[in-house]
Every structure is written in structure tokens, then in C-alpha cells.
Structure 1
Amino acid sequence: MPVYNSKDQHRHGDMRMKILVLSNYANGLFLFRKEVLQAFQRQGYETVISVPYDENCRKLEDMGFLVLPTEFERRGSNPVHDFKLFLKYMKLLKEQRPDVVLTYTIKPNLYGGLACRIKRIPYFVNITGLGTAVEKQGLMGRALIAFYRVAVQKAACVFFQNEGNKQFMLEHGVGKKRNRLLPGSGVNLQEHPYESYPCEDEGIIFLAVLRIMKDKGIEEYLTAAQQIGKEFPESRFYLAGEYEQESKKDYEPWIQRLSDEGKLKYFGHIDNVPEVMAKSHVIVHPSYHEGLSNVLLEAAACGRPVLASDVPGCRETLQNGLSGLTFPAKDARGLTQAMKTILSYSKSDRQEMGIRGREYVEEVFDRQKVIGIYLEEIGKSL
């Protein structure tokens, strides 16, 4: 559905319609939403991005987007710092005067959403995951849910990425006015083509791509790698992803020890994840909670069987027993057993699981579907 026409142009004189995007991480926008941003460009929108500045911002600038550095603590909970972020967003809205605002991740959703509500600017909130505090439902979690109710009450639409998150938030009064389920961020099927299943003569490679922190299941992966490595010494284990600064001291010595022993190959942060996936045989994702796992979507697009924790945001990405296997979250023994099960299959079984995974994402998770939903909803708001 087109969202820019002569009526829009008349309403704004010669000025183009402007979309402001608020997020907490430039690389996430580049990797998983650049096609959405490019679609806005094609529709005639001026697209401006507000995000904490890092080296990844250059990728977005090279695509022709104006990037406005907006510094804040992605995971801190200092109320003074967070109030300053709210004031930054209020100032940004006054200066940029956007026609529509899109928010991603918790702090932009909350403080950006509240600022848009006060300024009476149409805004769309994307709940990409509930986060640890909300999942635990303690005092902080209840406070965040209450804040969410206020911040998104006037949103033009609240997007959810899995049915579990959607039902949880609706039960707590968040997003009841207008909401819609997205197939996550989808996957670019051209950028992530099917890759031939690799030879297994030198052993089966398990790969985990995750931020190195407890809630992504790093402890379970390392524990399972140690156990499987003892019982199936021909198996190999890869790990790609950057440390979260607050937990680096907990996991760096463990990862270094396994690397020194030759039981684990640690890549650190890499930009060539598809290339490493193509050389691997099984992708493992032991996360405790997700909006919808891009790692699992890209693994399936590549044609690799997956092992995933049985939580919302992971289980939707596979057909259990057909394109992969699930196991209980926070359960190293369950993950170890899932690894043993997939090792017991034949090479042709594993290859067939990967083919089925590719067919499934083609049917359900094509990123073009996500783009269509955004354009449709923004068109309604204008």
C-alpha cells in the first residue's frame, strides 16, 4: 500500500513526510531492519535515525540515512539518566517535527513513546522482547509494565513478535487499543540463501551465535559443549558473539580455558555470520527469552537444523522434530540430550531437517511480509 501521495505533499507543501526511528543499537537496525528503512526511502519518506553512536552508525549513514547520536545506557536503571533520555526525546521531537515515529527496544519504547504521546505525534511501538525484568515479574517488572501501559496507550499500533509476548502484555493492559503480530523482523531470503550441507568427515560442528550473557544461555552451551566433547570427541563447538561488559568477568575465563584446551573455537564479534553458519552443521540457540530469534531464522534460511530453547520467540521459528529440536530453557542437561539426539541421526536426516527449515522460513518469515505490514499500518495513520 503506498503511503506517500500528492495529498501528503499538499499537506506539507514541498516537504517530504518524515519518519523518526528510535532504537538502542545501530547494528540491530542495519542487520535486521535495513530493508524496512529502505522501503521508507522508496515511498518518499525522509528517514531519520536516533541511536547511541558507535562504529555501526556508519553503515546506516552510507545508506543515506541521517543518524542523530542519542546517548543512553542500554541496560542501566538510573532514574536520573533515564529522565534525561526522556528530555532528549522531547527535544528531538521538537527539532525534527516527524510525521511518524517508530520505536524499538525497551527504553525507546517507554521514553520515546511517552514523549510522542505528550507531543501528540503518531507513533508505532515494536516490542521485540519482554526483557529479563518483565519476565521475572518482580517489583521492577511490575513497574515496567505499568510504565508500558502509560507510554503506549495512544500508540497508533503496538507490534509484537510472538504470540506469547502479545498475550502476556494484553493480559496486563498493554497494547489493547491497537496491536498486530509481526513475523519477527523476518529474514532476507536473498541475503541468506540456502547453503549446501557441509561434509561431516572431520566431525559435526555445533555453532552458537549470541551475546555472551546469562540470559542468552551461554552457561548451558558451555556446559553441554564440555559434556558432549567428552562423550563425542569428534564433535566441535563454535561460539560467535561479543561480551556484555557487565558479565565479561564471569565468562571470559571459562571460554578462554575451553579454547586453550581445543574444545571450543571462539570468534568474538563477527560480521560474516552467514559464512560461519554455512560451515557449521547444527545451530544452537539456548536463550531464556526472545522477541523472535533472528539467529534461528537465518540458520533455517541457510538450511541448517537448529536446537532451540522451548520459549516464545524461539519455538515459532522451527517445526519441532522436522526442522529442529527444542529443549527446556535454563537446562544444560536438556540441551546436552538434544545434542545427543541430533548426533544419533544420519547425515541425510540432518540435511533433510535443514531443507525443511528453509522451506518453513520461505513460507512464513520472508522479510517482505514485514515491510508490507509496516507500510500498511503507517498508511492508515496518515
Structure 2
Amino acid sequence: MDTVFLTSNTSWYLYNFRKATIRALQDKGYSVVCLSPLDEFSARLEDELGAKHVALPMVGKSTGLVQEMRSLLFIWQTFRHYRPVFVFNFTIKLNLYGGLVCNMLRIPFVNNISGLGTAFIHDSWLFRRVRQVYGLVNRRARHLFFQNEEDLAVFRDAGLLGKTPMTLLPGSGVDLDHFAFQSLPKETSITFVMIARLLGDKGVREYAGACRLLKERGVAVRCLLVGPLGVSNHSAVSEEEVAGWQGDGILEYRGATDDVRPVIAESHVLVLPSYREGMPRTVLEAAAMGRPSIVTDVPGCRQAIEAGKTGWLCEARSAESLAEQMLKFIAMREEDRQQAGVAARARMEASFSEARVVQAYLDCLAG
């Protein structure tokens, strides 16, 4: 049985965002191996999806030479042992390291550019070198997948593409049956929710700041925050910060969950003040359930909504701008909020089906 690898910097990502791809590959007769650091979702990849998991010794925020060489060597040893017929790389480090090893071992591979991440949001000598290597790897890929036109333009303008074929996809898509439409709650008090890894680059601190501004103005709202703490990333939000926000009564932290549907259902609007995205899955999932979103006017986020119809834009890195847009949503008529939710669902049905994304990956194997 031929083996196909999926690689990522977390098992959480593969389980939550690539579940349908894993199952589709298995249906085609492939043995699927997931290469990612060990976390609470690693066992679920095996127990629930029937994939094999190989624990990758990688620290997400590490830039130390010894640790990074250890990760690169492990990938080389793993691919050399399994000799996969194809590799799908997700997230920046695995695009780089997985792509380098695939090139050395002459294994066909695809890189999925699911956002530019820290290497493009910040600038330093190290991150400039990372971008150079990214370009070298991408030129050797069988195919490149992007999630928004602006990220594609950044890579093209920086000469990081070569002549590699590329496709623009709607993120990882959304399962329209699993995320079924639900009408907005009837409560008069508006509930906002942010669902994301707790990173500064996701705009978590701006969300907390906006919630604080609303509370200080005496606005009766609920502000929910959902997502994992302890993320290995330079911009990670600390547990102490979250405890402080809760202690001040400005938001309610719900922790991490592998089923966001209940918290979306009890909310009126999703908030994602991220600094940059590929195509934010939480916005798509909320839209499929009939929830509009307030997002920052940055690449990825602005493509995830139709501004003024299925969601609204605010300035990046500005709690004040976000709070202003949240106040505008509160002031809207109930029927206008409901219509925005209906339009969000319709847009998902028209252009963001998960089936389209999965088929694009299967087509790479045939090519």
C-alpha cells in the first residue's frame, strides 16, 4: 500500500483542519501517516481517523540551530524509512523542512501556504533568511496552494515562486453539513466570541482591550474567548494575562475545545482581530452556522467576509477601532443582524465547500 504523509507543526491542526483530506486519501487506498509534534490530538489521529502518527521533535517557537537541525534530521530519517509516494506539507516550518527533505530524497510534495505567519509579519536577519529558503523550496514543489490573493502576490513579488504551478483555494474549506445553519440567539444582550490560538498575532490582546472598553462604557455584553493556551510561539499570550482579564470581568475564557459549534451557536457574532491570515477557518465555520464576523482589514481576514454584508472590518492592532465596530453591531436592528447571518451561510454554500479543497489535493496525486 502506497504511503502519503501529511506534515504540520501541530497534531491539532491536522485533526481539526485536514480530517476530510485524511479520510479521502484512505478511501483512495493510501496509507496515511501524520508527522507532527505530540499533543492531545495525536492519539485521535490514530484512534478516530485510522492514520499513523509519528511524533516530530519540534518546538514551534524555537530558532536554535541545534533544535532545528534535530527536527530536520528526524524528518529526513522518517521519510527515508517510509519512502512516501507523496507529501503534503502544512504550516511554515514544515513547508520549509519537509520541502527540503523531499527535495533531497526526490519525493514529490505540495506546500500549502496557509498564511504568512511570523516570518512575514516581523522582520529581522533571521526571518529574511527564512524567506529566502522558502523561495528555494517552493520552486521544487509539485504544486503550491494559497488561501488568498494577497499572500500569493507577496510571494510572487518577492520571487519566491519560480514556475511552480499554483492554485488559490478557500482555506481548508468548511463542512457545510457539520456546521449547520442556526438562527441568531434571541437574547437582548449581545454575545461576542473570539476563537483562536491564544497568540498576540491573532489579536487576542486587542480583543481583550475592546471588551474592556465596552465594559468601561457600561455596555451590557458577553465576551467569550475560546482557544488553547501554552502555544509554542513567540507571540503567545500567557495564562496570567488571561486570568487577569477574567478577574477584571471583561471576558469569559472557555478554554480549548475540539467542537466549536456550541459556542458559536450561543453567540451573535465572531470576532477575529488578527494581524494576518491565510483564510481563517473559524470565520468560515461561524459563517456556515449563520454568524457574521468582525475582522481586521488585513490579508486573509478581509477575503473571509463580504464587507458590509456578511461581516465588518476594523483596523488592525487597534482595540479602539474594534470596540467601535462592536458597538455598531450592538446598535443594529435584529433583522439586519439576522440577514447578515443568512448571507454569510449563503456565501459559504456558494464558494467555500470543503469538498472542493479535498478534490484539489487528490488531483495532485493524479498529476
Shorter-chain TM-score: what band? over 0.9
Alignment of 1:277-296 (within 5 A): 277-296=264-283
Structure 1 partner of 2:81 = 95
- What aligned pairs does 1:310-349 form with structure 2 within 5 A after superposition? 310-349=297-336
**How far off its partner does 1:251 sit?**
4.7
Which residue in 2 is equivalent to 1:186?
173
- After TM superposition, give the deviation of residue 254 of structure 1 in Å: 4.2
> Size of the alignment, in residue pairs?
364
Pair 1:205 & 2:216 matched? no
| CA pair 278-87 structure 1, distance change in 2 beyond 3 A | same
- Higher deviation after alignment, 76-85 or 293-302: 76-85
Counterparts in 2 of 1:173-322, with a 5 A limit?
A: 173-177=159-163, 178-201=165-188, 203-244=189-230, 251-322=238-309
Aligned residue for 1:255, secondary structure, equals: helix
Equivalent residue in structure 2 for 1:372, among 356, 359, 363 = 359
Q: Which runs of 5+ in 1 are unaligned?
A: 1-15
Q: Residue 378 of structure 1: CA displacement?
A: 1.9
Q: 1:323: how far off?
A: 0.8
Deviation, 1:244, is: 3.6
Secondary structure at the aligned position of 1:271 is classed as: coil
- Is this contact kept in 2: 1:325–1:338, CA < 8 A? yes
Equivalent position to 2:44, from 43, 54, 59: 59
CA distance, structure 2, for counterparts of residue 153 and residue 164 of structure 1: 19
8 A contact 2:199–2:236 mirrored in 1: no
Give, in whole Å, the separation in 2 of the partners of 1:249 and 1:92: 30
Kindly provide the amino acid, as one letter, of the partner of residue 289 in structure 1.
R
Q: Distance in 2 between matches of 1:285 and 1:316?
A: 13
The question of 1:39 aligning with 2:43 is answered no
The match for 1:50 is 35
Give me the whole-angstrom Cα distance separating, in 1, the residues matched to 2:67 and 2:24: 34
**1:249 offset after TM fit, Å?**
9.3
Normalising by the residue count of structure 1, what TM-score does the alignment of the two structures yield?
Answer: 0.91
How many angstroms apart in 1 are the aligned matches of 2:87 and 2:237?
38
1:211-264 CA-partner distances (Å, limit 9, x unpaired): 222111111111110111232432111111122457799654443234234332
C-alpha offsets along residues 308-350 of structure 1, whole Å, 9 cap, x if unaligned? 0111111111110001101111111110111111111111111
Over the matched positions of the two proteins, sequence identity in percent amounts to 34
Q: What is the DSSP-based 3-state SS (H/G/I as helix, E as strand, rest coil) of the residue aligned with 1:262?
A: coil
Report the counterpart of residue 3 of structure 1 in structure 2. Answer: none
Query: Which position in structure 2 is the counterpart of 1:111?
Result: 97
* CA-CA distance at 1:46 after TM superposition: 1.2
The runs of at least 4 consecutive aligned structure 1 residues that moved more than 4 Å come to 245-251
Partner amino acid, structure 1, of 2:277: E
Residue 111 of structure 1: how far off its partner (Å):
1.0
C-alpha distance in 1 between matches for 2:177 and 2:196: 23
CA distance in 2, matches of 1:21, 1:75: 21
CA contact (8 A) 1:211 1:242 kept: yes
Q: Which residue of 1 aligns with 2:5?
A: 20
Q: Secondary structure at the match of 2:18?
A: helix
CA distance in structure 1 between the partners assigned to 2:66 and 2:212 by the alignment: 44
Which residue does 1:353 correspond to in 2?
340
Are 1:205 and 1:237, in contact at CA under 8 Å, matched by a contact in 2?
yes
8 Å contact kept, 2:57–2:74 = no
Would you say the 8 A contact 2:138–2:162 is kept in 1?
no
What is the identity, as a one-letter code, of the residue corresponding to 2:19?
Answer: K
Measured against aligned partners, the alpha-carbon deviations of 1:60-80 in whole angstroms (never above 9, x if no partner) come to 102111111111111211112
Give the partner amino acid of 1:185: S
| Distance change >3 Å, CA 116–CA 218, structure 1 → 2 | same
Match of 1:30 in 2: 15
How far has the Cα of 1:33 moved from its partner? 0.8
Task: Give the alignment's Cα RMSD to 1 decimal.
Answer: 1.7
1:36 & 1:269 partners in 2: Cα distance?
23
Report the CA distance shift for 1:131/1:261 in structure 2 as closer, same or farther (over 3 A): closer
1:189–1:366 CA contact under 8 A, matched in 2: yes
* Unaligned ranges ≥5, structure 2: none
Q: Distance in 2 between matches of 1:221 and 1:364?
A: 29
Distance (whole Å) between structure 1 residues aligned to residue 321 and residue 155 of structure 2: 29
* C-alpha distance in structure 1 between counterparts of 2:203 and 2:153, whole Å: 24
Are the equivalent residues in 2 in contact too, given 1:293–1:317 (CA < 8 A)? Answer: yes
Higher Cα Rg, which structure: 1
